[in-house]
Structure 1
């Protein structure tokens, strides 16, 4: 189904776990009929245990709870943790769990990287925040900087339809899971049945490995090509395709104020190596680059001009743009755009250092020139290279009590 715009929505921008987790847990605590969650990471720390508590309580009072975790991103949940969920009636699904020979997780490509919550088909959350304590400031210097949105209005029905379609697709080739599930549950509301609660226009865009392989990148490029005043992109893992980089350079050259907020204190060293290899190519065209140095940046947000914004799970790197399952919300609203801009502007003013073209040029030795040359051609060629990788049919495996060891990749003692 092609993405479409929905009018009459309301969005609340949430920054970091301090704002996100209380809102999500409160909504789950008030759920009457259904909770559906997709997350890449669920750790068994204080955040994961808090989510566990509210989901178990919801299931015990009769709410249908479906929780999907990624088999690579959430590999180490204990049998006790899973048994508590399943025993209460939570339907726990593991995306592509796969075998773990000798404790190694080889199947790291094409992951379920989305972060979505839908409660009673009436309120939803989407963004980049996982269920782990490293999204809270008290985690220390490695705490992540990130964003999400809470939404109400007709677009929630589209998100609800999307998560149920994903559940159905994941079990289509898994007879064991299909016997366990009571499928197929219809969406509680059509978009026209949900009342308009605001003035914001919104569109759900996703990326998969079948019909929507480039949808998120396409929406970025459409907005960038139409930009007339400003572009601000805050992205944790920045190594996009050649076409998107070309669009950014062209925007800067026609006078658009193009700013990138990237990781200056990366959670993985290779992240900065990849992004910085493009610095000279971008800065030469007038793109302004800011490295966020206060802590690791994990956000995936952007804004263009005065009314276009996006918040979601997709990075601008080969994994997100060509391999993973992702979802972003695009929002057309001046007030939301202004709020997001204020947040990002504060980061640039107080917590970033700007990387200038002069600084990049002075630091560019022979090895740097070679590295930039290789990086440039990688981003030009990687879409074609990725097409050669196998596109398996991802599946959801139900985590039943007698399958706990298999679902977590652990053997029983």
Structure 2
């Protein structure tokens, strides 16, 4: 038994790209329903719709199998779940927790910042899932034109041990006096090799890992020599991130950016478009995905480096929310991801053209100057925004004396 080292490349893993709900939901529901020992699931959104009910059935089956089942949902992203939906799970032995349930004022939620935005599943300590897909019907095509385009990965190999230990800490944070015992109980076995991919499990929180995900992106951009493809739903990153993209393009790297052309929130496209001229003039190629809302958070660099996860490239994900990505170093996975993103660019995107020079160039330059300084200092300003210590509340019958983690502050918020 050993404790994983979270910031080093872990060899011997295998990753399977799962595109949209059609690729993701059957695999994750099957894995959960076949669990025999343990299921840990974290998600930002869980709705009581046809997808939520399929997950509900899989969790109940895992509990009937004798598995210890833990579910953590965000109180803002998953509001108003019916009592019978949660009650059936709790009565079956599922430990159902809500991250920061929060209060309402005139029907409006007040705790809108610093959300638990991760999407992680670990089953029996051997198979993991991570990405951007929530448990709601708008991730499958039959939802209609508002169905989301998104990605996740199925994970096997030693990196799953890192995901497992992190997930256990997140849903079962014991009180501080038991810290030594906690370290021992959350040690996980070293898993056998399952493939050839190196990987790092990377998280972002508001204490010790405030910029880890963005830092991995910037390091990869700095090292890029051939190509960069970033597909991200909410794009308004920091000054240093934009600077690395521009530098890569100017030294001859083929830098491509896939953003929302039909966003689920109009302000998303407005914010991203304010950066277009600055990026295009440096040689970055920008594509807007137009078939439906883009919800993905994936990227690749050259022929090996890739990342998939929950983190957008906007101020909320990079400076406030709790996020989790996996960084992958593998030629085969990189090629698969590039093939799928290239298909989007070829068949479902329109390429954005640079704005011709005009008498308004001075105004655009002034606007860019202002925007970059806002982005440059936003991580510091984020610390001044309203904050509180979120709590994890254990719901229902399981919240008794035998469950000491009821309404406890999480270890990484």
- What TM-score comes out, normalization by structure 1 length? 0.91
RMSD: 2.4
Counterpart check, 1:346 vs 2:343: yes
Q: Name the one with the larger helix percent.
A: 1
Q: Does residue 93 in structure 1 map to residue 97 in structure 2?
A: yes
Q: Is residue 252–residue 287 contact of structure 1 (8 Å, CA) maintained in 2?
A: yes
> In the TM superposition, what is the alpha-carbon distance from 1:375 to its structure 2 partner?
2.8
Equivalent in the alignment of 1:270: 267
Cα shift at 1:102:
2.3
Quote the Cα distance in structure 2 between the aligned partners of 1:33 and 1:363.
67
Does residue 358 in structure 1 map to residue 359 in structure 2? Answer: no
1: CA distance between counterparts of 2:295 and 2:366? Answer: 29
Q: Which residue of 2 aligns with 1:205?
A: 202
Q: Provide the rounded CA distance (Å) in 1 between the counterparts of 2:214 and 2:183.
A: 31
Q: How does 1:4-403 map to 2 (within 5 A)?
A: 4-169=8-173, 172=175, 186-187=185-186, 189-190=188-189, 193-358=190-355, 371-401=367-397
SS in 2 for 1:358: coil
Q: Deviations over 1:8-31 (max 9, x none)?
A: 111100000001000001101110
Change (3 A) 1:63 1:362: farther
Distance in 2, matches of 1:240 and 1:305, equals 21
Structure 1 residue 303: Cα displacement: 0.2
Deviations 1:256-309 (A, max 9, x none): 000000000000011001000000111110010000011000000000000000
Q: How much has 1:382 moved relative to structure 2?
A: 1.0
Q: Is the 8 A contact 1:237 1:317 kept in 2?
A: yes
Deviation at 1:168, TM superposition (A): 3.3
Q: Which is further off, 374-383 or 232-241?
A: 374-383
d(CA) in 1 for partners of 2:384, 2:208 = 17
Distance 1:87 1:308 in 2: 44
Deviation at 1:186, TM superposition (A): 3.2
- What is the aligned partner in structure 2 of residue 410 from structure 1? none
Provide structure 2 residue ranges, at least 5 long, that are not aligned to the other structure.
400-406, 408-413
Task: Write the distance in 2 (CA, Å) between the matches of 1:4 and 1:394.
Answer: 29
Normalising by structure 2, report the TM-score: 0.91
Superposition deviation, residue 60 in structure 1? 2.4
Q: 1:184 to 1:219 in 2, by over 3 A?
A: closer
1:130: Cα distance to partner?
0.2
Q: Distance in 2 between matches of 1:402 and 1:78?
A: 17
Q: Distance in 2 between matches of 1:376 and 1:269?
A: 21
3-state SS of paired residue (2:172): helix
Please report how far the alpha carbon of residue 380 of structure 1 lies from its aligned counterpart in structure 2 after TM superposition. Answer: 2.0
SS in 2 for 1:298: coil
In the alignment, structure 1 segments of 5+ residues that lack a partner are: 408-413
Change (3 A) 1:81 1:364: farther
Distance 1:43 1:367 in 2: 45
Q: Give the length in aligned residue pairs.
A: 395
Is the 8 Å Cα contact of residues 168 and 184 (structure 1) preserved in structure 2? no
